[in-house]
Amino acid sequence: MARIVFIGAGSVEFTKNVLSDILTFPELGESTLVLHDIDADRLATAEAMATWMVGELRLGAKVEAHLDRRAAVDGADYVINEIAVGGHAATVRDFEIPRRYGLRQTIGDTLGIGGIFRALRTIPVMVGLGEDLAELAPHALLLSYTNPMSMIPRAVYEGSSFDRVVGLCHSVRDTEARLASLVGVPEEEISFVTAGVNHQAFVLTFERGGENLYPVLDQVIANDPELRRTVRVEMYRRLGHFPTESSEHGSEYLPWFLHHDAEVERLRIPVEIYLQWSRENVDTFEETRRRLAAGEGVEIEPAMELASEVIHSIETGTRRIVHGNVRNGGLIGNLPAAACVEVPCVVDRAGMRPTRIGDLPPQLAALNQTFLNVGELTVRAALEGRRDHVYHAAMLDPNTSATLTLQQIHDMVDEMIAAHGALLPEGIR
């Protein structure tokens, strides 16, 4: 059976969700589940949880736990990446320092100054993982959930000798379900084509039986003033295609919202909401550890996680369409070939095969390019040890450049580099 490795397994809520899927697929119930984390306490908790789940379901799955990453990935078939380098403390720094300069963020893990520094912390680890896989499991498939999604897979396929990496994110699936609900049409009756870059993809085709459903959506929006008080609807009205990212997330990739008090209020943008979520994640870990120690176990309920669906499709031949983040290479004609783009992929026993989209509408490609410019410079900074490119990435970031002067940006970057220290690539710190 498959050897499925979890990197960052101490993120117990996410690990539980994927394990719940894997262990309730009859065809995967005998898999070898390999857990890795650099935090011994979190690893022990994840191991206890996985062992309890296997026992509760009376399955033959094997559970391994390794502090050593190479031992974990040796011979892997699938590697699921869920790391958060620096943990909650690094996240707090990503918000506290920019706040002192007057720079607002909501989630700070994809673009903006928070996304830049999350990438800089994560890329060295991921390149190292790629080299381990090239040596120890060259045929494995790396399924990466860690943000920033447009930068992390690219850093692996450009910075290591391993290129079997796909980024996975729920945003497209959730958006398509949301649109179906808004227009009152069963999702299975709708033809969607959605593509772009992660967290800034767009629904290009939204039809039922050849009927364009966008006019139906327009009427729904016209009749709902609360719906109009959202960033994603504002962007849809301006660009003509619905964006895949939530309003709180999408607001920080753009120059038009967070710097303006009136827009924050009008569009109900939850500034720094991710700090609350990050604290809740810490609380969830503590509660899971307590429940396991008390013999209470955890809830086992399938979560339809994308990684488990990909694994099931490849192992069984069950055909699915899953949106993956992969090297462009012409899949989207008017975005750079080296970029990491989000497109529908056919998944079955032959693996994951991305769909060629063609050109995006020019206004969407132009907006994506401003997003990709920041990622390009950040990846270059990390792979080449170029501190100057960190400044350049921050200078070109839409929200940062709309808020701060060049000198403020330079000073803030210096302070962020000093604060994150050894977590950053050599040549930058």
- Residues with catalytic function: 170
Count of C-beta atoms within a 10 Å radius of residue 277: 10
Q: How far is it, in rounded angstroms, from Cα 395 to Cα 392?
A: 5
How far is Cα 197 from Cα 402, in angstroms, rounded to an integer? 22
- Please, which residues have CB within 8 angstroms of residue 268's CB and are 6 or more apart in sequence? 229, 230, 247
Alpha helices in 160-272 (DSSP H): 171-183, 214-222, 231-239, 247-250, 261-266
Cα 182 vs. chain centroid, distance in angstroms? 25
CB count in 10 Å sphere of residue 125: 20
Contact 69, 36 (CB under 8 A): yes
Strands 3-7 and 78-81: parallel
Q: What CA–CA distance (Å, rounded) separates 351 from 120? A: 30
Tell me the chain's radius of gyration from C-alpha atoms: 21
